[in-house]
Structure formats: C-alpha cells, structure tokens
Amino acid sequence: MEPLRLFALQLKSSFRDLLPIIVVITCFQTFILQQVPEGLDSILIGLFIVAVGLALFIQGLEVGIFPIGENLAHEFAAKGSVLWLLAFAFLMGFSTTIAEPALIAIAQKASLISEGRIDAFVLRIWVAFSVGFAIALGTFRILTGHPIAYYIISGYILVVALTPLVPVEIVGLAYDSGGVTTSTVTVPLVAALGVGLAASIRGRNPVIDGFGLIAFASLTPMIFVQLYGLYVYSFADPAALESLSSVSTTVSEPAHGIAETLQTLVYELLSVITDILPILIVIFFFQYAIINKALPNLPKISLGIVLVILGLYAFIVGLQMGLFPIGESMAKQLTEQGNVHYIYLFSFLIGFSTTMAEPALLAIAMKVEEISGGAIKQKILRIVVAVGVALGIALGAYRIISGDPIHYYIIAGYLIVIVLTFFAPKYIVPIAYDSGGVTTSTVTVPLVAALGLGLATNIDGRSPLIDGFGLIAFASLFPMITVLGYGIVSNLSQHKE
C-alpha cells in the first residue's frame, strides 16, 4: 500500500502544479478572447493524463534514475579512473541530446525557415557534440575543484565576443540552442551524477561543487552553434548545402479514427523508448563492462526506469491532446487582436505557469532541497525560477514586437549575471546557473517557440528566422538573475537575524 499512497500524494501534487496553467488559459479564453476553445473535452482529458504522467515520472526518478546516477558517481570515484569518467560524461551528454525531442523540433523549424541552408541533422550532431563536451568539462571541474564562476563567466565572454561576428540569422537560434539541450531525463541523471561525484571526493561540497553540470550543457551549444552559423553563412556553398539538406517539409495530418489514434499512441511510446534507450545503453555498458559490477537493487531500479518511461509517455500524449493545440491557437489569436498588453500579460503568465509544471525543474528542486538539508525549499526555488522565466518571456515578446536586436538584451543580461555572481553566496551560484537549463524542457519549449514564431510571422517587418527565435534564450537567462538575487536577499536577511 505504501507505493500507492506515495503515488496518490504525487498525483495530488501534480494537479496542484498544473492548476496555474489551467487558470491562465481559462481566464484568457473567458475574459479576453471570449470564446470556448474547440475540443474542450479533449483538452480536459489531456490535462488529466499530464497530471498522471507527471506523478509516475517523479516516482520513477526517486526509485530509479537518482539512485543510478549517484551509484555510478560513487563507483567511478572509487575506481579512480579519470579517463573513463570523462568518457562516460561525454557519451552521456551526447547520447541524451542527439534524440532530444525539443532539439529535433527546433532544428527542423530552423531548417525549414532557412530554406535548407541550416541542415537539421548536422545541427543536431553539432549541438549533441557540444553537450557531450560540456558534461565532460563540468565533470573535470568537479574533479579539480575549480570555482564554477570562472568557467561560466569565460563562456559568456566568448558568446558575447562571437555575437558581432556571426550572421544575424543565426544569433537567435544559437541562443535558443542552449535552452533545448537539457531534457527531462537528462537533467535528473546529470544532477545525480554531479552531486554523487562531489559527495564521493574528499574536500568537495555537494551543493557548491555538485551542481553546475547543466549550466555547462546550456552554455557550450550557444558557442558551437554560432561557429556553425559562421561557417554556413560565410564560407559554405549555398547550393551544396541545399542538396545535402535532410529536412522534410511535409506536415503530417492529424490522426482520425481508432486505428490511426492507436498507431499514433504506439509511435509516441516507441519514440519515448528511443529517446531513453541511448542513455540506458551508456549506463549499463559502463556499469557492467567498465566498472564490472552489477547494479545494486536492480529490480527496484528497473521499475523506476519503467515508471519514468510510462510517465514521460503519458506526459507527452497529454500535452499534445491538451496544452499544445490551445497554446498555439491562443498565441495566434492574441497576435491577431493587436493588443500588445494582452500579449505581454499572456507571455508572463504562461511562462510562470508552465515553469511551475516543468518536470526537469521539479527534479532539480527536489535534489537541491535534499542536498541542502531543507535549507533551500523546493517550492520557493521553483517560484523564484518561474518568476524569472515569466519576466524573460514577457521581455522577449516585447523585443520581438519592438524589433530590437536580440543580442543587446542577452549581453545586458549576461553582464547582470556576472555582477550578481560576485555578490551572491557561493552555495547559490551553481544552482542559479543550472536553473537556466532546467526551465526550458518538455512543457515550456513547444509553447514558447510557438509564441515567438507566431509573433514574428504575424507582425509586419519581422523575420521568423531572425526575430522568431530567442524567446527560449530569455527563458533560460532570467531565472539565473532571479535565483542569484534570491540568494543575495536571503543572505542579507540571515545576517540581519
């Protein structure tokens, strides 16, 4: 009965997390758009499935994914082989990114809008390589004990230095690429690996040294994609690129009938398994071939993995039934209305509500509360991050409407992050850096990308390629500012007490 009781509590928590999204959509549909959305029954069923999926996913994390990551970290630390540890970190980053659904969606959209000049498959390989490099570099930082700020600030300076050199067509896409690489499964596994490694090495602090791997995975793709864009737009032959383009421009028709619906559901399940399979192959290869030990409590961990797969599958199916269609249609309707204040308000509220329901953020917040011994409450951390995302998306929407170049905003944001880093307490810095990567995942990316491209498509004088991308970058940047600010205010209040 204990697992069922835990699941019931998780389900109740999931419904509570989804409540802000339901309230935002209901209020806008009722009072501003003044119409009942089409397929209301399907939307309600979809939201129920999302809640069930979220509950299963969280239970699977606690039973399977977190123990795997921490066990591997302890075993690698005991084995003392730096080379194998870095190889594992690289392959983990590469394998989890290459099949990331959010990255696939953004890469295909970029290829379509650029008329094949940006190749979707090449872009995915390039970004996956950058994430593998990032996780390996972040692991090296934990081993050496270097302060994370040195690496992250150096990376920001490099991003800023490259921005004026690359074509404007690639800037927004490069900034966005940092936000779509950290998947719902990658985040908890990488966090468990980092925390477990820091806990296993003498002289390392799990809070100060354990977090930060996700920050690396969000930073390096921006640099790599800017370099890719520089090559594509400055040196490559457009005719050769067009002939190599592998993106399909066909749009699949929605399923009709029971047979087609079942076929779609089976396809979605296989897609989720395909996304997670490379991660499992890497984990089990290193566990049994390199560490040469069986996983402790394998039946329980296997159950956790199955729960994660089922939970993620239900979550995605529910999103497609409930949130995606209504989110896209509302973005289009608000744009057509022409009232920019409603667009800003919708951007803020949808940013806040989707972030509160983001599984990747929930996983990190749970781990932060556990490692900090309850000093940092997961609920407060999630609210602070959600406020940052909401502010970022609202400002990003203003940027698209006004037509300002994106790099002015992003560079100013990085400068604020750098300044706050020197005033924030050490324990909050890696958590703040990580928060930028966990906010843009399963729920947020599709809705935010649809909003940005919808605005750029429907506003005269805006280019979907130049102006449509970039909202995800705002959603990744501003949580770092709000979490660092929260750490500074918290520290000052503690000193006063």
Asked if the model's pLDDT at residue 336 lies above 90, the reply is no
Asked if the model's pLDDT at residue 385 lies above 70, the reply is yes
Q: What percent of the chain has pLDDT over 70?
A: 90
Average pLDDT of every residue of the chain:
82
The HSE-up count of residue 443 (CA atoms within 13 Å, CB side) is: 30
**Mean pLDDT of the 292-304 span:** 87
Q: Cα separation of 253 and 231, whole Å?
A: 35
pLDDT (0 to 100) of residue 254: 43
| SS3 letters across 212-256 | CHHHHHHHHHHHHHHHHHHHHHHCCCHHHHHHHCCCCCCCCCCCC
**Mean pLDDT of the 52-68 span:** 83
pLDDT higher at 189 or 388: 388
Cβ proximity of 69 and 308 under 8 Å: no
Q: Of 396, 390, 411, 387, which is closest to residue 474 (Cα–Cα)? A: 396
The torsion defined by the Cα of 24, 30, 36 and 37, in degrees rounded to 10, comes to -20
**Mean pLDDT of the 415-423 span:** 93
pLDDT (0 to 100) of residue 249: 36
pLDDT (0 to 100) of residue 330: 76
Distances (CA, A) of 188 to 30, 214, 271, 364: 37, 10, 20, 6
Asked if the model's pLDDT at residue 239 lies above 70, the reply is no
Phi, psi (rounded to 5 degrees) for 321: -75, -40
Q: What angle do CA 128, 133, 136 make, to 5 degrees?
A: 125
Lowest mean pLDDT segment, chosen from 73-82, 174-183, 403-412, 438-447 = 438-447
Q: Cα separation of 26 and 33, whole Å?
A: 10
Cβ proximity of 391 and 349 under 8 Å: no
**Mean pLDDT of the 279-306 span:** 88
Which pair of structure tokens corresponds to residue 175? 């900034």
Query: Burial, 267: exposed, middle or buried (Cβ in 10 Å; 0-12, 13-18, 19+)?
Result: exposed
pLDDT (0 to 100) of residue 442: 61
End-to-end alpha-carbon separation of the chain, Å?
44
Phi, psi (rounded to 5 degrees) for 129: -60, -40
Q: Dump pLDDT digits (tens) for 367-377.
A: 888 888 888 88
Specify the DSSP class assigned to residue 441.
Answer: S
Cβ proximity of 429 and 494 under 8 Å: no
pLDDT higher at 136 or 81: 136
The torsion defined by the Cα of 93, 293, 58 and 437, in degrees rounded to 10, comes to -20
Asked if the model's pLDDT at residue 50 lies above 70, the reply is yes
Q: Cα separation of 28 and 19, whole Å?
A: 14
Q: If DSSP codes are grouped into helix, strand and coil, which group holds residue 180?
A: coil
Angle between helix 213-234 and helix 186-200 axes, rounded to 10 deg: 130
**Mean pLDDT of the 268-287 span:** 84
Q: Dump pLDDT digits (tens) for 115-162.
A: 778 888 889 899 999 999 999 999 999 999 999 999 999 998 999 899
Q: How many Cβ atoms from other residues are within 10 Å of residue 377's Cβ? A: 13
Q: Of 387, 389, 353, which is closest to residue 25 (Cα–Cα)? A: 353
Asked if the model's pLDDT at residue 168 lies above 60, the reply is yes
Predicted model pTM:
0.78
250 falls in which pLDDT band (50, 70, 90)? Answer: very low
Asked if the model's pLDDT at residue 256 lies above 60, the reply is no
Contacts of the segment 287-296: beta carbons below 8 A, 24+ positions apart = 287/72, 287/75, 290/81, 290/84, 290/88, 291/72, 291/75, 291/76, 291/79, 293/75, 295/68, 295/71, 296/67, 296/71
